[in-house]
Amino acid sequence: MLSTHFHGRMLSFAALAIAAGWFSCVPIRQAVAQLPDMPSFGNNVEPVLTRFGCNSGSCHGKLAGQNGFRLSLRGYAPEEDFKSLCEEEAGRRLNLIDPDKSLLLLKSTGQMPHGGGKLFDINSEAYQVLSKWIASGAGGPRSEDPHVVDLNVTPSSLSLEISQSTLLQVHASYSDGTKRDVTWLSRFHSNDAAFATVSPTGELIAKRHGEVSAVASFQGLVDTVVLTMPFSSTINEEQYTILGDSPANRAIDQHVMAKLKLLHIPPSRPCDDSTYLRRVMLDLCGTLPTADEIREFLTNASVDKREKLVDRLLERPEFIDYWTLMFGDLLQNRKERDHDVRGAKGVRAFHTWIQNQVAINRPWNEFARDVITASGSSESNPAVGYYVVTVGEKQAAESEVADSVAQAFLGTRIGCAKCHNHPLEKYTQDDYYHFISYFSQVVLDRKSPNDGHTLLSHGTQHLKNLQRQLQKSEEELAKLRSEAVDDKKIEEKLASIKRQTDEVEKARLSPPMVRQPRTGKQLSPQGLDRRPAEIVAGSDPRVRLAEWLTSQDNKAFSSSIVNRLWKHFFAVGLVESVDDLRDTNPPSNQPLLDSMAKELIQSHFNLRHVMKLIATSQTYQLSSDTLTENAGDTRFYSHYYAKRLPGEVLSDAITQATGVSDVFQGYPLGTRATQLPGPQIDSYFLTTFGRSDRVTACSCERSGDVTLAQLLHLQNSEALLDKLRKDGGNLNGWIAETESIDLLLDKCFLTSLSRYPTNEERESLKAAFEAADRKEVAIDLYWAILNSKEFTFNH
């Protein structure tokens, strides 16, 4: 069958192919024409192994391999894979004399038992590539082989009706200028299979109204297609009108409305004043409005009262407390698990430091810079605590600090790339180690609180050792001098000190480097955009890192923080999840994200400015009540998405509603949960309601999940009952001093639900009061209120 002549071979293939029927639907002529005389391991073989899942994480690509055969995950290490295929197992995987008898082919076509099953047919395209490669001598990866430099999927965006489909095409551009259709070798992935599915051959099928992106990947490169599936309701232009021309309207609402219009999703109506007041106060300050504040706001007739409210809230101490809590989560302010060196005191100090930044509305780029470049003693510079926690007892370049910094400040999860290339992003293992190289000259001199303060200094352990030795020598010299010894001894000591001084200087000036564990290469600091950093010898590389990271040009830096802020208010980020920003995970509204990032940069990284835009936008003021036509929308902000209150906020809300404070061990009575510096303070309530343990920088640490234990607690906890019944608590006070049931109802509702009872509620509740013991009825009513979603959610 196999002639040695190229054309003859092609004819044979073609004949066989036509006869046997091709596995993929790629035109024969095109595919056959692409197969060179000696298939390249890197460009022909490896893609087949990736495409058919051989090197996937559930098969041979996992760390331990499968049944004794290991490949690099998705082919990130072709040289290793070549070895595994050719050299291991006495070469039985490949049969150069009779390629069809190679284990590689027998197993993948199911002719021999194979845990992974049959992956492709005999004489399929994949089979041809592998068998031809074996027949041609099974050459390894060659440095002169062209490599892929770009990947393009077409179309890059489109609109479909439900159940309609389209066939995607993927083209790869190579370093030698050639371009190849690699559709049959690409892997496809839908970012949300509920909205659209994509088949292994690239058929994209629309499933549900909305918008979704799909990703094509090939040889470590990725490209994205955005699919829009508008709802079918007809558009009523009026519904999408923006009522004004404020900065918020321009920065936010025009983009939101444009998207809703494109998708035929009508927005809900605006929310009323009492809803707005409660909502914005909870979102900005983590507190409920008081009854007086509500009354004042509702009767205030000025047209700009909502904007003025926002201005006031941004200055309140509760605002500062709440955002200190939020940034405490981001910066992982907690005690350490093992051999904690800062103690609760250190956590409190860092908490105060953060509080100061929030209080003066420190520009975010400066705030970030101070954390990243923190040095000195943890006592005089509490921000050093960030390194104490993320570096811990390890060497900085072997610790989690790079992961934390990337996640917290860039919204990027580079951690995957520590061991293998990132599956859905372009980050390679080299990128990871280049990045962590910035931290290779951080030395943490940990001291338990009794022994002194932990010190972060610039340098390496090696340098520190040399410096210590030098100091020792100098002390010895002083001793020798004072003992009036032989001149010769002194000279020797001086010479030794000179040598040591030179070594210290050499070490001090040595460039930062980190060893890439797989390749063994020494890698210097480089941003994730792969531009090498120019680091002055002897300077702290983190300074350059901070410059690169906080630069106006660094889209990830500005986008990630505005995305986090967005999510805080709107429950759903423009990018989800907030620490997974990548090209293959596009925002639900790109112009909107760009606009918000621009606002941040142009305001000199002013976070309050962004918050004000959000809080005064028309979008933010939409009701949470859904319309039939927008009830299915969970990404485009057609209505305010009701969300469970964070643990600390709920705890404080219960305190505020009942007038009885929680007791937090070690803190004065009256301390609110949002004021607590860290998760080490014991609280069943806070733990049960998902307080962040701050173990990692992951946004998932704080949980908004609803659980059984929470509902049981709200229903039956003694603590809650105690608050309802307590002398000096609100209920008892009101019952004692309020004659009219109407007024009593008003107080109950205003203080807890931030609104007046409806007529229906009033009638029904009044009847209950008149029929039984007032005190008991009041407790039952309040119990019901505190257990209601209207109370426990922001809506």
Partner 1 sequence: MFDFNSNNQPSGHDFSRRAFIRVGGLAPLGFGLSSLLASEAARAKDGSQELTARAKSVLLVYLGGGLSHHDSFDPKPDASEEVRGKYKTIETNVPGLRIGELLPRMSQTMDKVCLVRSGAHNNDHHETATNWVLSGRFGTPFGDWPAMGAVASHEFGFDGTIPPYVAIPRNPSFTWELGKSAFLGGRHESFKVGDPNDKSFRVRDLFAPEQLPDSRVQRRQSFLKTIDRLAERVEGSDAIQSYDQYQQRATSMVLSPKAREAFAIEKESDEIRDRYGRNTFGQSCLMARRLIESGVRFATVNYAGWDHHAKIFESLDKKLPEFDLGFSALIEDMDRRGLLESTLVVCMGEFGRTPKVNKDAGRDHWGPAASLLFAGAGVKPGVVIGATDRDGAFVTEKPFAPHDVSYTILSSLGIDPRKHLFTADGRPVEILENGRWMQELFA
**Chain residues 169-188 in contact with partner 1, contact rule CB under 8 A:** 187-188
Q: Is 785 in the site for partner 1 (CB under 8 A)?
A: yes
CB distance 393 to 554 below 8 Å: no
Q: Which of 394, 700, 743, 770 binds partner 1 (CB under 8 A)?
A: 700
Q: How far apart are CA 139 and CA 145, in angstroms?
A: 12
Task: List the interface residues with partner 1, window 485-514 (CB under 8 A).
Answer: none
- Which residues have C-beta within 8 Å of that of residue 628, sequence separation ≥ 6? none
Q: Which of 276, 387, 641, 734 binds partner 1 (CB under 8 A)?
A: 641
Task: List the interface residues with partner 1, window 732-761 (CB under 8 A).
Answer: 753, 760-761
- With both helix axes pointing from N to C terminus, report the angle between 607-615 and 273-285 in degrees, rounded to the nearest 10: 160
Task: List the interface residues with partner 1, window 546-585 (CB under 8 A).
Answer: 577, 580
The pair phi, psi for residue 255, each rounded to 5°, is -75, -40
What's the min distance (Å) between Cβ of 265 and partner 1? 9
Q: How far apart are CA 303 and CA 246, in angstroms?
A: 13
Cα–Cα distances in Å, from 428 out to 219, 319, 359, 516, 787? 12, 41, 39, 11, 49
Q: Which of 695, 737, 743, 775 binds partner 1 (CB under 8 A)?
A: 695
Task: List the interface residues with partner 1, window 17-36 (CB under 8 A).
Answer: none
Mapped onto helix, strand or coil, the DSSP state of residue 98 is coil
Cβ proximity to partner 1: between 254 and 710 the closer is: 710
Q: Which of 420, 446, 643, 694 binds partner 1 (CB under 8 A)?
A: 643
Cβ proximity to partner 1: between 19 and 771 the closer is: 771
What's the min distance (Å) between Cβ of 453 and partner 1? 23
What's the min distance (Å) between Cβ of 412 and partner 1? 11
What's the min distance (Å) between Cβ of 488 and partner 1? 48
Which of 472, 403, 438 is CA-nearest to residue 543? 438
Cβ proximity to partner 1: between 360 and 631 the closer is: 631
Q: Is 338 in the site for partner 1 (CB under 8 A)?
A: yes
DSSP 640-675: ---EEPPHHHHHHHHHHHHT-----TTS-TT--GGG
Q: How far apart are CA 599 and CA 592, in angstroms?
A: 11
Q: Which of 213, 219, 333, 710 binds partner 1 (CB under 8 A)?
A: 710
Q: Is 237 in the site for partner 1 (CB under 8 A)?
A: no
String of contacts with partner 1 for each residue 579-608, x by CB under 8 A: -x----------------------------
Q: Is 194 in the site for partner 1 (CB under 8 A)?
A: yes
Q: Is 633 in the site for partner 1 (CB under 8 A)?
A: yes
Q: Is 240 in the site for partner 1 (CB under 8 A)?
A: no
Q: How far apart are CA 158 and CA 160, in angstroms?
A: 7
CB distance 342 to 385 below 8 Å: yes
DSSP 393-447: TS-GGGSSHHHHHHHHHH----GGGGTS--TTSS--HHHHHHHHGGGTTEEEE--
Task: Please report the sign of the dihedral spanned by the C-alpha atoms of residue 83, residue 86, residue 87, residue 88.
Answer: positive
Task: List the interface residues with partner 1, window 104-123 (CB under 8 A).
Answer: none
Element (H, E) at 179: strand 179-181
Going by DSSP bridges, is the β-strand pair 187-190/196-198 parallel, antiparallel, or unpaired? unpaired
Cβ proximity to partner 1: between 508 and 725 the closer is: 725
Which of 217, 261, 189 is CA-nearest to residue 73? 217
Mapped onto helix, strand or coil, the DSSP state of residue 180 is strand
CB distance 664 to 676 below 8 Å: yes
Q: Which of 236, 245, 299, 337 binds partner 1 (CB under 8 A)?
A: 337
Q: How far apart are CA 645 and CA 325, in angstroms?
A: 14
Q: How far apart are CA 619 and CA 258, in angstroms?
A: 12
Cα–Cα distances in Å, from 209 out to 37, 233, 556? 48, 11, 29
Q: Which of 36, 57, 155, 517 binds partner 1 (CB under 8 A)?
A: 57
Q: How far apart are CA 140 and CA 127, in angstroms?
A: 18
Q: How far apart are CA 739 and CA 761, in angstroms?
A: 19
Size of the site for partner 1 (CB under 8 A): 85
Q: Is 723 in the site for partner 1 (CB under 8 A)?
A: no
Q: Which of 121, 145, 192, 503 binds partner 1 (CB under 8 A)?
A: 192
Q: Which of 156, 199, 241, 356 binds partner 1 (CB under 8 A)?
A: 199
Q: Which of 68, 155, 200, 591 binds partner 1 (CB under 8 A)?
A: 200
Q: Where does this chain touch partner 1 (CB under 8 A) — which range of 6-14, 552-560, 609-617, 698-706?
A: 698-706
Cβ proximity to partner 1: between 380 and 707 the closer is: 707
What's the min distance (Å) between Cβ of 793 and partner 1? 7
Task: List the interface residues with partner 1, window 121-150 (CB under 8 A).
Answer: none
**Rounded (5°) CA angle 484-489-490:** 65
Mapped onto helix, strand or coil, the DSSP state of residue 526 is strand
Q: Is 167 in the site for partner 1 (CB under 8 A)?
A: no
Cβ proximity to partner 1: between 290 and 703 the closer is: 703
Cβ proximity to partner 1: between 425 and 599 the closer is: 425
Q: Where does this chain touch partner 1 (CB under 8 A) — which range of 12-20, 132-140, 596-604, 710-718?
A: 710-718
Neighbours of 251 (CB within 10 A): 18
What's the min distance (Å) between Cβ of 14 and partner 1? 28
Q: Is 790 in the site for partner 1 (CB under 8 A)?
A: yes
Q: 345: which 2 tokens?
A: 């005191």
Q: Which of 4, 450, 716, 759 binds partner 1 (CB under 8 A)?
A: 716
Q: Is 156 in the site for partner 1 (CB under 8 A)?
A: no
DSSP state of 383: G
What's the min distance (Å) between Cβ of 624 and partner 1? 6
Q: Which of 33, 360, 478, 706 binds partner 1 (CB under 8 A)?
A: 706
What's the min distance (Å) between Cβ of 207 and partner 1? 9
Q: Is 64 in the site for partner 1 (CB under 8 A)?
A: yes
Q: How far apart are CA 744 and CA 291, in angstroms?
A: 12
Task: List the interface residues with partner 1, window 410-449 (CB under 8 A).
Answer: 413, 423-424
Cβ proximity to partner 1: between 223 and 540 the closer is: 223
